[in-house]
Amino acid sequence: MLLVPCPHCGPRNSSDLRYGGESHPRPDPATATPQQWRGYLYLRDNPADWLRENWYCRSGCRRWFTVERNTATNEFRNPPMPGDKRGGKA
């Protein structure tokens, strides 16, 4: 089972989290065309590469967060974590 680097708790079993899928910004509902809006709803890039994705730390800190994961290797990068010198909170 994947260890997901929660920026608040630290590494957690993926079963403690809910996968939120690819991170895409919400289009402005006032101006979005059907194509744009439905792209936001349904279309995913699904790269075999680095991917920005959302997770919800459901059994833990209950925070949503975004991380970068390489879908081919399951390597994570740039999640500031507790204890990280990059600025996670202790």
Binding site for other proteins (CB under 8 A): 1-3, 5, 8-11, 13, 15-16, 18, 20, 26, 29-30, 32, 34, 37, 40-41, 54, 56, 58-64, 74, 81-84, 88-90
Helices of type H across the chain: 34-42
Residue with Cβ nearer other proteins (2 or 44) = 2
Structure tokens at 22: 């690819």
Residues 76 and 58: their CA atoms lie apart, in Å, by 19
Closest separation between CB of residue 65 and other proteins, Å?
9
Structure tokens at 68: 């970068």
